[in-house]
């Protein structure tokens, strides 16, 4: 049984479906995200807005999903529910096998801290706070001790290519660099899932490409990533494309296999190294990120 203040262990899915069972019967790792019949209604009566109208979605670990759809189609609503920032009106949601609907507020905030890394359009970095301190923050909340915190925050900043900007304040960094700090902050806790809501919405073309290349590399290292975007060329980085219209998924198309490299990296690799395959790993060896 889970207790207040602890992240509940993922329970076996038992009779709730075959999605996480191998053909031979051995239990497989639960999906990163499994949502079924999800609805979200804001307001009541004549003022009710049906933001989600019955969404089913399964995202295995290692997937890289782009969610598209016109303004008001329900993308952020879905992202906020997946990120445990909001609750559905009806339906079920399992994150890494954990039944999110059964958690209390304390457990939910622990799940958010340990299992989800957020990246927002507006970066959401603390001003007058160095890149290092911004990245360190989730570890402070997570109770990680000083030296370990420092090691992991520096490793995350190195992974996003900002080892030489550790002491810079957000206003001393370019937009693309600020977003890379935000990505480092999102991944410093080694979350199950990175959620990005229009991460390139405030960036120029070059910085957008840098941030998306970073997501490509993180996915090649085994990270599960969900990106909301309005732009086709951003969505083309993902392995899977999901389109929402008026609160429903109308298209769910796989662009490349979950186990393989993301499309842009795969294409670059086959151009340069036709036979090479990058090993997939959940974390960077020795860094914890």
Ligand X SMILES: Nc1ncnc2c1ncn2[C@@H]1O[C@H](COP(=O)(O)OP(=O)(O)OP(=O)(O)O)[C@@H](O)[C@H]1O
Distance of CA 289 to the CA centre of its chain: 14
Binding-site partner at residue 42 among Mg ion, ligand X, none, CB < 5 to 8 Å by type: ligand X
Binding-site partner at residue 117 among Mg ion, ligand X, none, CB < 5 to 8 Å by type: none
The residue number whose beta carbon is nearest to Mg ion equals 76
Pick between residue 162 and residue 226 the one whose CB is nearest to ligand X. 226
> Could you tell me whether strands 33-42 and 240-245 are parallel, antiparallel, or unpaired per DSSP bridges?
unpaired
Q: Please, are residues 223 and 160 in contact by the beta-carbon 8 Å criterion?
A: no
Q: How far is the CB of 85 from ligand X (least distance, A)?
A: 11
Pick between residue 115 and residue 243 the one whose CB is nearest to ligand X. 243
Q: How far is the CB of 226 from ligand X (least distance, A)?
A: 13
Binding-site partner at residue 72 among ligand X, Mg ion, none, CB < 5 to 8 Å by type: ligand X
What is the spatial distance between Cα 82 and Cα 244, in angstroms, rounded to a whole number?
Answer: 15
Q: How far is the CB of 42 from Mg ion (least distance, A)?
A: 13
Binding-site partner at residue 73 among Mg ion, ligand X, none, CB < 5 to 8 Å by type: ligand X
Pick between residue 90 and residue 172 the one whose CB is nearest to ligand X. 90
Q: Please, are residues 228 and 196 in contact by the beta-carbon 8 Å criterion?
A: yes
Q: Please, are residues 82 and 71 in contact by the beta-carbon 8 Å criterion?
A: no
What is the spatial distance between Cα 130 and Cα 154, in angstroms, rounded to a whole number?
Answer: 12
Residues that bind ligand X (CB under 6 A): 42-43, 49, 51, 69, 71-77
In Å, the largest CA–CA distance within the chain is: 60
């Amino acid at each position: 049984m889970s207790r207040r203040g602890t992240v509940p262990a993922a329970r076996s899915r038992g009779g709730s479906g075959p999605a996480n069972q191998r053909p031979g019967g051995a239990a497989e790792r639960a999906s990163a995200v499994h949502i079924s019949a999800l609805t979200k209604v804001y307001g009541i009566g004549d003022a009710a807005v049906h933001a989600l109208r019955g969404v089913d979605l399964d995202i295995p670990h290692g997937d890289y999903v782009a969610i598209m759809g016109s303004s008001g189609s329900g993308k952020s609503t879905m992202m906020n529910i997946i990120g445990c920032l909001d609750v559905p009106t009806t339906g079920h949601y399992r994150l890494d096998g954990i039944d999110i609907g059964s958690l209390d507020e304390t457990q939910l905030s622990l799940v958010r801290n340990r299992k989800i890394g957020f990246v927002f359009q507006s970066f959401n970095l603390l001003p007058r706070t160095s890149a290092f301190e911004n990245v360190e923050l989730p570890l402070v909340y997570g109770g990680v001790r000083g030296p370990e915190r420092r090691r992991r925050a520096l490793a995350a900043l190195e992974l996003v290519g900002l080892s030489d900007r550790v002491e810079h304040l957000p206003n001393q960094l370019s937009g693309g660099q600020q977003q890379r700090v935000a990505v480092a902050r999102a991944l410093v806790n080694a979350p199950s899932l990175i959620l990005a809501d229009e991460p390139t919405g405030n960036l120029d073309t070059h910085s957008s490409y840098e941030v998306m290349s970073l997501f490509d590399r993180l996915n090649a290292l085994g990270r599960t990533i969900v990106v909301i975007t309005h732009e086709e060329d951003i969505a083309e980085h993902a392995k899977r494309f999901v389109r929402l219209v008026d609160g429903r998924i109308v298209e769910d198309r796989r662009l490349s296999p979950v186990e393989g490299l993301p499309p842009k990296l795969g294409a670059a690799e086959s151009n340069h190294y036709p036979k090479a395959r990058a090993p997939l790993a959940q974390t960077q060896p020795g860094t914890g990120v």
